[in-house]
Chain A
Amino acid sequence: MKIIPFLLGALFLFAGAAFSHHSFSAEYDATKPVTVTGVVKKVEWQNPHIWFYVEVKDESGKVTTWGFSGGPPGMLARRGITKDVLKVGDVIKVEGFRAKDGSNNGSGGNVTFADGRKVFAGSAEDVAPRE
Chain B
Amino acid sequence: MQEPQRHKDMARRGTWGQPPRDLRGCPHVPLRAMSLCLCGFYVFAILALMPALLHGQTIPRTSEGRPNFTGVWAGPGFTHRVGPGDTDTPRVTTYDTAKMSPFKPGGDAFMNRPATRDPIKDDPTAGCLPNGLTRQILSPYAQQWIQTPTQIVVLYEYMHFFRVIPTDGRPHKKDVEQTWMGDSVAKWEGDTLVIDTIGLKEWMLDATHDSKPDQLRIHSDQIHVTERLRYVDPTTVSYQVTIDDPKIFTAPWSQDFEMKLHPTWKIFEFVCEENNRCIFGKCTEADVQKTSRE
Interface residues of A (CB under 8 A from B): 14, 17-18, 20-28, 30, 41-42, 44, 46-49, 51, 53, 55, 63-65, 67, 69, 72-75, 77-80, 99-101, 103-105, 127-131
Contact = CB atoms under 8 A, between A and B. Distances in A.
Contacts of B291: 65
Contacts of B211: 14, 17, 128-131
A51 B270 contact: no
B275 interface: yes
A77 B268 contact: yes
Contacts of A79: 83, 87-90
Contacts of A51: 275, 277, 286
A119 to B, nearest CB: 15
B37 interface: no
Interface string B204-219: 0001011111000000
A127 B213 contact: no
A interface secondary structure, majority? mixed
Contacts of B283: 27, 67, 99, 101, 103, 105
A25 B209 contact: yes
A30 to B, nearest CB: 7
B207 A23 contact: yes
B276 interface: yes
7 contacts: A25-B122, A47-B271, A47-B274, A51-B286, A53-B288, A69-B278, A127-B140
A105 B292 CA distance: 14
B212 A127 contact: no
- Which residue, of B93, B265, B274, has the highest number of chain A Cβ atoms within 10 A? B274
Contact of B85 (A48, A49, A80): A80
Given A79-B90, A127-B91, A74 B275 contact: no
Given A17-B211, A26-B122, A74-B270, A129 B94 contact: yes
Interface residues of B, number: 55
Nearest to A75: B90
Contacts of B88: 78-79
A131 B272 contact: no
Q: Which 5 A-B pairs have the closest CB atoms?
A: A25-B213, A23-B123, A22-B126, A26-B119, A65-B292
B288 A41 contact: yes
B126 A26 contact: yes
A62 to B, nearest CB: 9
A28 B125 CA distance: 15
B92 A20 contact: yes
A72 B271 CA distance: 11
A118 B98 CA distance: 36
Contacts of B142: 74, 78
A74 B289 contact: no
B173 interface: no
Interface string B136-168: 000011100000000000000110000000000
A73 B268 CA distance: 9
A79 to B, nearest CB: 6
B285 interface: yes
- Which residue, of A20, A24, A103, A105, has the highest number of chain B Cβ atoms within 10 A? A20
B171 to A, nearest CB: 36
A100 B281 contact: yes
B280 interface: yes
